Amino acid sequence: MLAPLAASDYVLHVAVLSFIYLLPALGLNLVYGYAGLLSLATGAFFGIGAYASALLALRLGWPFWLALPAAGVVCAVVAVPMAVPALRLRSYSFVMVTLGFLVISESVAKNWIGLTRGDMGLIDIPRPRFAGAALTSVPQLYYLTLAAAVLAALAFRTIVRSAAGRALVALRDDETLAAAYGLDTWRFKLAAFVLGALLAGLGGSLYAHYTAVLDPLVFDVFHTLTLLTIVFGGGAGTLHGVLLGTVVFLFVPEALRVTPQWRMVLYGLLLVVFVFRLPGGLGPALARLGRRP
Amino acid sequence: MSGPPLLSVRGLAKRYGGVIALNGVDLDASAGELLGIIGPNGSGKSTLFDCVTGLVTPDAGRVALGGEDVTGRPLHRLAARGLVRSFQKTAVFGTLSLVDNLVAAGQARAFGGTLAAFAVGGAAGRRTATLTARALGLLDALDLAPLASAPAAAISFGQQKLLQFASCLMSEPRLVLLDEPLAGVNPLLVERMVAHIRRVNGEARTAFVIIEHNTDALLGLCARVVVLARGRVLAAGAPQAVARDARVVEAYLGGVDGQG
């Protein structure tokens, strides 16, 4: 919490990124870990939120505090026409449609040059202002994104502990059975998908205003893979697992920079070990360890 | 008895390729009735439930619930109209605790809508507390109380059967379709489950339509029995009369499987 007093700006930068990534990771966790829908569109909503927020700030002069919720709303609204046909599909077809959505989103960002400036990207995205001054130093942005991450985690916890959260787990376990007890499984899946998009969009907005530059690479599948690694490796369907995964899977690749040539090889090996040794994810594995006498 | 029957099935037919699963089934169940369905393997019992609950679209025929045509209506809408079913292949929410299984089974009716389920705070908390109390009562009645917080995947097959049965009662439905509720349940618990069906039927006037191979238990429980064979109603009536019916004896002995 008081890391800014001790840590270097570089370490803080990685911490900020992990706080920002927590939002789309929680979005994906709600959609996959709870509703059981493997969606690759989370990365797309992260990018759409980033672009929406940056463009509202640059073109219309909206302050960050308005652009942030607007980015979430834009993603939630876009998610509905995307989900309505996609949710009629089962497992693999659904995954392919969400991947298609990611590819199309990237293509729009690259080619709608009048709006997004294409590959030239957007620059000078205004930093968030607080108490009359722009937050420009890394420690300031650390506290802002930390607050956003804490609020997102609390909101997530509220959702999954509600009756709706129970309904999502029920339909993930057995959709037909959930319907037999009167749960409108289609609507619950839609709600989870929209909320997941909203969380991802808020994360995208934070990302755009933190980095201050934005180009179509925000839609790169790398971001989506990072989110999948966080959720799968941390522990899908848990909050603590995803919190842990966000920190571990953003800091480990950075820590491995001590050996640049072996970095990605070691990271890959680590992921393989994770998959085989901790199939439920890091969070649940630690929880088991804690229960052991 | 006035008014339309609670459940009315007319001319229900379904074929899978060359196999005729249902060949024009007529069936009525009135409010508060205990109706048993027996028949040899492959006689169409489970297909009947699947067609009634909209999981399978029938080729022909009508299903009405309380006089309202509900043919092909999706499962969750039927549940909202007071019809709940269990599945032959034991089904529970494996990662949810036993209490949460029951609360999940009751919450659609208690909360009323998808958006209402996202609500937090006073009213939502009270609804959940009411459901939880009801769930604990059911678990206690079925000897499952000590396992209340265990995940449903961790309990035995027989216990999962009991849990599924209890789940069907959570929304206080008008009609419950049970598909082989007693299969794989130990004899002591069979007695307890039969007693519980009788009690719920007596107190809440919940109607049950029960498919069961344990004919002794079923004939003792139900006032009326329908026998299916080769997708048709072969006989219907009081258990003793049906059990003596020569056609029924023939269907069982001459059937695919002597045990039924």
Taking residues A17-41, report their average pLDDT: 95
Q: pLDDT tens digit string along A133-192?
A: 888 888 889 999 999 999 999 999 999 999 999 999 999 999 999 999 999 999 999 999
Residues in chain B closer than 8 A to A184 (CB atoms): 76, 108, 114
Chain A, residues 129-168, CB within 8 A of chain B, namely: 158-159, 161-164, 166-167
Q: Using CB atoms, pick whichever of B100, B101, B114 lies closest to residue A184.
A: B114
* The predicted structure's pLDDT at residue A80: 96
Chain B, residues 127-156, CB within 8 A of chain A, namely: 127-128
CA-CA distance, A89 to A96, in Å (whole number)?
10
The yes-or-no verdict on residue B260 having pLDDT over 50 is no
DSSP secondary-structure letter at A218?
A: G
At B2, is the pLDDT very low, low, confident or very high (cuts 50, 70, 90)?
low
* The predicted structure's pLDDT at residue A267: 82
* The predicted structure's pLDDT at residue B258: 40
Instruction: Report CB contact under 8 Å: A176, B91.
Output: yes
Of A41, A91, A5, A55, the residue nearest A193 (C-alpha) = A41
* Alpha-carbon separation of residue A172 from A33, A93, A225, A264, B57 (angstroms): 9, 17, 22, 34, 24
Q: How much of chain B, in percent, has pLDDT values that exceed 70?
A: 96
Instruction: Report CB contact under 8 Å: B114, A185.
Output: no
Give the number of other Cβ atoms within 10 Å of residue A1's Cβ: 8
Of A100, A50, A84, A77, the residue nearest A211 (C-alpha) = A50
Give the A:B interface size as CB pairs under 8 Å.
Answer: 104
DSSP secondary-structure letter at A214?
A: B
The yes-or-no verdict on residue A127 having pLDDT over 70 is yes
Q: Is the dihedral of CA A263, A268, A273, A278 positive or negative?
A: positive
pTM as predicted = 0.90
The domains found in chain B, sorted by start residue, are 7-82+173-253 (3.40.50.300), 93-156 (no CATH)
The helix/strand/coil state of B110 is helix
Q: Write down the ipTM of this complex.
A: 0.90
Q: pLDDT tens digit string along B195-241?
A: 999 999 999 899 999 999 888 888 889 999 999 988 899 888 888 88
Instruction: Report CB contact under 8 Å: A163, B171.
Output: no
The yes-or-no verdict on residue B257 having pLDDT over 60 is no
Within chain B, what is the greatest distance between any pair of CA atoms? 62
At A9, is the pLDDT very low, low, confident or very high (cuts 50, 70, 90)?
confident
Chain B, residues 162-181, CB within 8 A of chain A, namely: 167, 170-171
For residues A129 and A135, the answer to whether their CB atoms sit within 8 Å is yes
**Which pair of tokens denotes residue B124?**
């939502």
At B254, is the pLDDT very low, low, confident or very high (cuts 50, 70, 90)?
low
DSSP secondary-structure letter at A31?
A: I
* The predicted structure's pLDDT at residue B259: 42
Any A CB within 8 A of B118 CB = yes
CA-CA distance, B238 to B217, in Å (whole number)?
14
**Which pair of tokens denotes residue B65?**
């619930």
- Comparison of pLDDT for A269 and A99, the residue scoring more: A99
H helices within A174-256, ranges in order? 175-180, 185-211, 221-234, 239-255
Any A CB within 8 A of B241 CB = no
At A90, is the pLDDT very low, low, confident or very high (cuts 50, 70, 90)?
confident
